Structure 1
């Protein structure tokens, strides 16, 4: 056991001596939506919604052109939806639904870097894992009267048929864990980075009330950040 620990420490110290480890922070905005597959989409219109992202970035540079980037992020996702019900002339009802979901995310990107006149052009790709922290769905129903319903997302399979959750078509009951693939592009000048990333969820977030209905996240993010450059070798550039 002791030999294994010593060997691991030697490997880690060797990697750090050849690489550069930097930690940064960034924040920005998200434009997110949902890929939705339901039995009847004729009365549904899915629109994107705006959110935010706050990130702690850990970047390990293997060589001047290749690095591994990870960290933790708080990311707001969701969608807007317009629904129209057809009852009879004069009795049509519409509903505007806004879903706001907040996730804790762990991305792991392999990044390729090309430096031109002190500006690094960055491209990255890799998987990400998300954990649902909290969520809220606001529905404004317009018909004979106007009413607003607010439901908290329940990250479990239970469904209360005596509550207003039925107005949200099961969106109030979602799977907490999500995963997918992401890609990013960016520009870095010295310690400042500007980046755009896109994430595509691979997991069906809906519980299997109906086996042919699916819903998954997608999000485009824009962010600006600052790196505390090269923590282990601060004199090197």
Structure 2
């Protein structure tokens, strides 16, 4: 019998791997609905849905390996990063899904959430006030009008699989929907800024990509993530992770 491997587990959801099958357990069925619908619509390689029996979704493993992980070295070539950029552009150019996604929150709502989170980070002593203040200034660059695109919404480097210079699969679509395309690009390159040029080369020279907006999303996403990660058993203070991303803006 195949060994059961816990991929990720916290109070909101858990993912287990048994052989070539991933079992996603999520009490919020709306997230599973979003994931299944997004994978059916996305014009990029996605996992095959094997079966669904709430609260469990079973999907097949995708071939290839990830480009790396946050806090770790990149294992992919410049060509692989460019291929990922091309796949992301294909997704962003696709017809819009019906739902708003994580990358589609309104500017006012997002600013209010960010300001409240910054206050808590300082009040609870999680981060120095100077670090929070500086990154709140940088994050302002992301708070501007944007044209909706089909976004993944949680396009972490660990969610994109490649074989050589070919993208073989993109996983974890529960945050997908209409949103800001630059949020996806920022999430994908978070902690791996040295590969932004490679990603944008694949994304296309005709794309209107404002790097200051991407830097704003790096700061914003990291500020919003720190406390959640700590409370759910993760460590954003590890080398190369969210706190280092914030320090790099100083």
Q: Under TM normalisation by the shorter chain, which class is it? A: under 0.3
Question: Rg larger in 1 or in 2?
Answer: 1
More relative contact order, 1 or 2 (CA 8 Å, 6+ apart): 2
- After TM superposition, the score normalised by the length of structure 2 is 0.19
- Which structure has more strand as a fraction of its residues? 1
- After TM superposition, the score normalised by the length of structure 1 is 0.20
